[in-house]
């Protein structure tokens, strides 16, 4: 290999800034008690980081964007493995998924009729109205939780701005619903991430 050129006289070596990683566990978009495989994968990711890298854990159950990069990694992984999902669907007796409820809410042609055909076979005459009402509740809950999550994640991104060096948010989630309503929130989050030099 060619010899390395000597540093100019009077130059000062600049130490590379440590990378900062924040593991964000979106517990409110993971079914209650589930997510162990994702959390174990996240723990293995922590093991793969270089010793100089700094890592913190933040979950959607937290109400403030307080981040601790000084936590012992083994203690962090123990907390991580306990951060299972908290979402519990309890809106009514009919089996209505989040995404199909959103389609009903968006007036997608045939979306409500498909659910009624599936759920109301040999059911009382009140079934179609009950299905429509429950679909509305499911869709409203999904939108509200998604908006709250995106707002909290944006606040977290803002809190990382003063930190020097590369910053990364590693998101562990079952996936918040993305609709035309919250796309402006996603765009805002992306712009704030760029300003804060944060990669999600």
| Residue range 178-187, pLDDT digits in tens | 888 888 989 9
Mean pLDDT of 79-99: 90
Whether 200 shows a pLDDT value over 60: the answer reads yes
pLDDT value of residue 176: 87
Residue whose structure tokens are 């109400």: 63
Whether 118 shows a pLDDT value over 70: the answer reads yes
pLDDT value of residue 24: 96
d(CA 150, CA 180): 14
DSSP 52: T
Whether 124 shows a pLDDT value over 90: the answer reads yes
Confidence class for position 74, pLDDT limits 50, 70, 90: very high
Confidence class for position 89, pLDDT limits 50, 70, 90: confident
Mean pLDDT of 1-24: 66
Query: DSSP states of 58-78 as a string?
Result: EETT-SS----TTS-HHHHHH
Whether 1 shows a pLDDT value over 70: the answer reads no
d(CA 128, CA 113): 9
């Amino acid at each position: 290999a060619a010899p390395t050129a000597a540093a100019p006289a009077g130059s000062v070596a600049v130490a590379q800034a440590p990378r900062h990683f924040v593991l964000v566990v979106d517990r409110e978009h993971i079914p209650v008690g589930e997510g162990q495989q994702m959390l174990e994968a996240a723990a293995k990711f922590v093991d793969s980081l270089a010793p100089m890298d700094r890592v913190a854990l933040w979950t959607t159950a937290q109400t403030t964007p307080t981040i601790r990069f000084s936590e012992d990694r083994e203690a962090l992984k123990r907390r991580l493995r306990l951060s299972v999902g908290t979402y519990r669907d309890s809106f009514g007796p009919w089996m209505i998924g989040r995404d199909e409820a959103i389609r009903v809410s968006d007036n997608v042609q045939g979306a409500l009729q498909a659910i009624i055909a599936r759920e109301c076979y040999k059911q009382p005459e009140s079934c179609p109205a009950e299905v429509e009402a429950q679909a509305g509740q499911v869709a409203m809950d999904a939108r509200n939780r998604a908006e709250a999550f995106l707002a909290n994640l944006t606040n977290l991104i803002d809190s990382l701005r003063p930190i020097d060096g590369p910053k990364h948010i590693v998101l562990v989630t079952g996936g918040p619903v993305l609709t035309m309503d919250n796309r402006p929130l996603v765009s805002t989050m992306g712009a704030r991430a760029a300003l804060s030099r944060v990669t999600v």
